[in-house]
Amino acid sequence: MLLDSYIYGFALTKMNLPFRTTEEVGDVAQTMLAPFQADANPNLVAFITEHAMQPGYDYGDEFEYGLDLILDGLDRVRNAA
């Protein structure tokens, strides 16, 4: 169930992102940051400005990282049982 949710959710998010190219990410990120106060959301601001707004960022590349986190967590639980 966890893997299904992650994979399905990731695919839906990727399909509905308001950008198609890496060049468009910066504009969308600026719009996304506008309603948030930087001092109240420092981690969000850091992620968007230092990661997502950098040249070459591709949301699709995040899939493997998230999947590895899930699989590592499941492996730890299995080994502890």
Tens of pLDDT, residue by residue, the chain (81 residues)? 888 999 988 888 888 877 777 677 777 777 878 888 888 989 988 888 888 778 777 878 889 999 999 999 999 999 998
The predicted structure's pLDDT at residue 27: 77
Backbone angles phi, psi at 21, to 5 degrees: -115, 160
Instruction: Output the pLDDT for position 64.
Output: 93
Q: Which of 64, 49, 58, 60 is nearest to 24 (CA)?
A: 58
Per-residue pLDDT, 75: 95
Q: What is the pLDDT of residue 25?
A: 75
Report yes or no: 33 and 45 within 8 Å, Cβ to Cβ: yes
